[in-house]
Amino acid sequence: MNPPLAARRDAPLRAIAFMLTGAVSFAVMNALARSMRHLPWPMLGFSRAFMGLGLALVFARARGASLAIVDRRRMWQRSLAGSTGMLCTFYALTHMPLADATALLNTTPLWIALLAWLFLREPVSGRVLAALGVAFAGVVLVERPGLHGGGFAGAVALGAGCAGALAMINLRRLSGETPEAVVVHFSAVATTVMAVGSAGWFATHGAPPAVTGGDVVRVLLMGATATLGQLAITRAYALDKAARVGAAGWIQVVIALGIDAAVFGRRPEAVALAGIALLLSSGALLVDDARREQRALRA
């Protein structure tokens, strides 16, 4: 039986490891969604949420995890914020270059650092603040060539980052739920939200294009990687402070740039490479902060 979220706190290195696992998983999911931009974006979101729900239930049963909800109000706040973020995410991924969208989606740590201080009263160390500042500068350098063209899609991506921060803050405040219970509840709510969005799209635009066998395979992979990422990130936020865990997610930007170059043929400019170096430096600061706190906890 898995212990509840509150029973596993203050393990910064494990938290960063889980966060990196989640970041890689979501980077792959984002690339798969980007490769299917010929399909309606709400339908992609629905497929991701519905598959995530099924897989999360399977994982929970296999692990013998409880799906009981203790704090219903905060659970609903977390799931609704996460569903809003998912809605915005799939719109941005299908209307912007992958790396541009990923960078804006990953402004979540900047919002988390502020909200965690305001609502959770979590102190933010100087190293975490430095990591956030360095990471933000890196994103500015990475996105400077193309950010001006983001327009409405760019604003939607920023909205997804803010919604994601609200979801993570509420996740951190949960006290008696297993990670599996959190993911199942979120997936169920997100499935409903994306189903309503899909119905609205079909009512406005008519029937979607035909779905190929390749699309089906990519949708299955998208659901699997998204569920793995969701479980990993949920565990990460249960193990350490929200600001530091969230900041580790910047690695998604680096991964997205690589995928953009290797798969979609979009090569980063020199200024973007400088931004990547800053993002990696940000990650090094976070790991150093985690090591220092881990040593202090063992002392």
User: pLDDT higher for 187 or 176?
Assistant: 187
Report pLDDT digits (tens) over 135-168: 888 877 776 655 554 568 888 888 998 998 898 8
Can you give the pTM of this predicted structure?
A: 0.78
Question: What would the two tokens of residue 279 be?
Answer: 């993002």
Which run of H or E residues covers position 57?
A: helix 41-63
3-state helix, strand, coil in the chain (%, to 5): 80, 0, 20
Which run of H or E residues covers position 259?
A: helix 251-262
> What does the pLDDT average to over 162-181?
84
Residue spans per domain, the chain: 5-293
Instruction: Give long-range contacts, CB 8 A cutoff, 24+ apart: 115-123.
Output: 115/165, 115/166, 115/169, 115/242, 116/169, 116/172, 116/241, 116/242, 116/243, 117/243, 119/169, 119/173, 120/169, 120/172, 120/173, 120/242, 122/241, 122/242, 122/243
Does the pLDDT at position 28 exceed 80?
A: yes
Report pLDDT digits (tens) over 43-63: 999 998 998 899 889 989 998
pLDDT band at 289 (very low <50, low <70, confident <90, very high): confident
> What does the pLDDT average to over 17-25?
90
Question: What would the two tokens of residue 235 be?
Answer: 């565990």
